[in-house]
Structure 1
Amino acid sequence: MAGTLPPKGLDAQGYIEREGSLGRVPHAFRPVVAAARDGLVGVFGARLHSAYLYGSIPRGTARVGHSDLDLLVALREEPADADREAVRALGDALDKEFPQIDGVGALLYGRARLLSDLETYDLGWFVACLCTPLLGDDLAEYLPRYRPDSLLARETNGDLALLLPRWRERIAAAGDTEEALRPLTRFMSRHLVRTGFTLVMPRWQGWTSDLREMAEVFGAYYPQRAAQLLRAAEYGSQPVGDPHVLRSYVDDLGPWLAEEYARVHGVKAPRPD
């Protein structure tokens, strides 16, 4: 069954192709992207090294009123708490101004960390393969090319066991309101689907960022868990505010996936934070 799913997302040499481009940004989202670009320059000025889009907007698959704006920002030095607060405030302002988007997610790092040896197969890969340049010099020029192998699988998602206790804390702190639970469901659903996919990625020998396709690829290798990951893929696009869904993630699917991941690929190298 697994062999019936054709690999994709690789170039002729078997390296993961960079996905997304500014040319693919749907027309409805171009004002949002322009405002984000101007806002980042206004907030950080000369301290900004580069900025990137990732997710459905640069892939051209965003849905008006449902998709979020995803940004990665690289500063010339390591960011401080004030920088993180500033980028959160910018995201909140963009979310209020543009009804086309449903939230803003912004990752903020220093250039040195993104290019560090420790992050070569995690954040470095993320920049080089999943991010679309928006501002500044592209850090991908300093990074290697990547294959869908076990090293990449381990260093991208081999830390789920460490994340689960934090997820439980976030679920407990959120209470039972749908408004608080929906963003958690979207985030955790997407993370579990991507972890399930990268678990089997070296065997499938391909790459995709489509949540449903990720779940289908995973299900070909783990049919006993296929239905769970397909539901998670649905909730990753259309989240619900059901606490039972989140508890099933941290009590059942998540622990199983973390254990199987460690068995197959090992555990991600420890990070300082």
Structure 2
Amino acid sequence: MKPRGVDADGYFEREGSTERVQEAFAPVVAAARTLIAEAYGSRLHSAYLYGSVPRGTARPGRSDLDLLLALHHEPADEDRETAAVLARTLDGEFPQIDGAGVLLYGRDRLLSAQERYDMGWFLACLCTPLLGPDLAEQLPRYRPDATLARETNGDLAALLPRWRARLDGAATPEDVRRLSRGFARHLVRTGLMLVMPRWGGWTSDLTESAEVFGRYYPQRAAQMRAAAAVALEPVSDPAVPRAFVEELGPWLAREYAARLGTKTPR
């Protein structure tokens, strides 16, 4: 499979655009723009879309709306409470989305050396400007190399105990469904990041990510394809996310550490 997602010089091409937003999701994006500006006012530096909506691949009634907000200061409890209300409002008003998520960061942190190969890359390459000045203009160009892979997803081993605790605390089938989707997405993307330096490309398509991973780890290809399917069609059977945290996740964490190392402590 020929690498894609990079230009002729091997640098990431920024994915997503407001021009790619499908007609069904245009009212959601317009409402998000208005509500964000009203809710945060002068606290907001800039806002971004990411995920399937700005890529133009969202599925009405199944895809969620993902937002990243950069504030002029580090987020406080009030900012997080505002984000929770914003997410609930958007999810409640628009049946074409299956949930909404809001990431909050301070502007200075997003531009810091500490986040250069993590959230800085994420904003510069995977986020689409929605409001305010684009912080990507102050960040470097990125290549799909081992440093980037280590600093983005090299913390899986530390995440797994938290995932187990969250799964143990899941009280309803909807809780399990939400966790199964989140765990599956993270594992598929970690699998792609593991092989990304060897492949030399990038994709946010989860099915394609699993296929690229499978070229390098054929013995785990079926597991990763199954995870990609759950990421797209989450399930309420707790045995599925349990297998993620007890089988695929630990193996992937060990292999990641052996090949790429672990993420620099924050």
**Aligned-CA RMSD value:** 0.6
1:52 is matched with which residue? 48
Aligned partners of 1:171 and 1:48: how far apart in 2? 34
Distance (whole Å) between structure 2 residues aligned to residue 236 and residue 105 of structure 1: 16
Question: Which residue, 86, 90, 98 being the options, matches 1:90?
Answer: 86
1:188 to 2:183 alignment:
yes
- Mapped to 2, the partners of 1:34 and 1:202 lie a distance apart of 37
How far has the Cα of 1:243 moved from its partner?
A: 0.7
1:43 paired with 2:39, answer: yes
Q: What TM-score do the two structures reach when normalised by structure 2?
A: 0.99
User: 2:68 & 2:253 partners in 1: Cα distance?
Assistant: 26
TM-fit CA distance, 1:139: 0.4
TM-score by length of 1: 0.97
Q: Which runs of 4+ in 1 moved over 2 A?
A: none
Aligned letter for 1:149? Answer: D
Q: Counterpart of 1:269?
A: 264
Partner of 1:109: 105
Q: Which runs of 5+ in 2 are unaligned?
A: none
Tell me the matched-pair count: 266
1:3-22 map, 5 Å:
5-22=1-18
Identical residues among aligned pairs (%)? 67
The AA in structure 1 aligned to 2:178 is: P
How much has 1:131 moved relative to structure 2? 0.1
Q: How much has 1:178 moved relative to structure 2?
A: 1.6
1:210 aligns with 2:205: yes
1:143-162 equivalences in 2 (<5 Å):
143-162=139-158
Match of 1:167? 163
* Residue 245 of structure 2: aligned partner: 250
Aligned mate of 1:126, from 94, 118, 122: 122
Report the Cα offset of residue 82 of structure 1: 1.4
Q: 2:173 aligns with which of 159, 173, 178?
A: 178
For residues 142-175 of structure 1, give each alpha carbon's deviation from its aligned partner in whole angstroms, at most 9, with x where no partner exists. 1000000000000000000000000011001113
The answer as to 2:29 corresponding to 1:33 is yes
Say yes or no: does 1:225 pair with 2:227.
no
Q: Which ranges in structure 1 are unaligned for 5 or more consecutive residues?
A: none
Cα deviations by residue, 1:35-91 (Å, 9 ceiling, x for unpaired): 111111111101100000000000000010000000000000001011111111111
Give the Cα–Cα distance (whole angstroms) in 2 for the partners of residues 82 and 167 of structure 1.
26
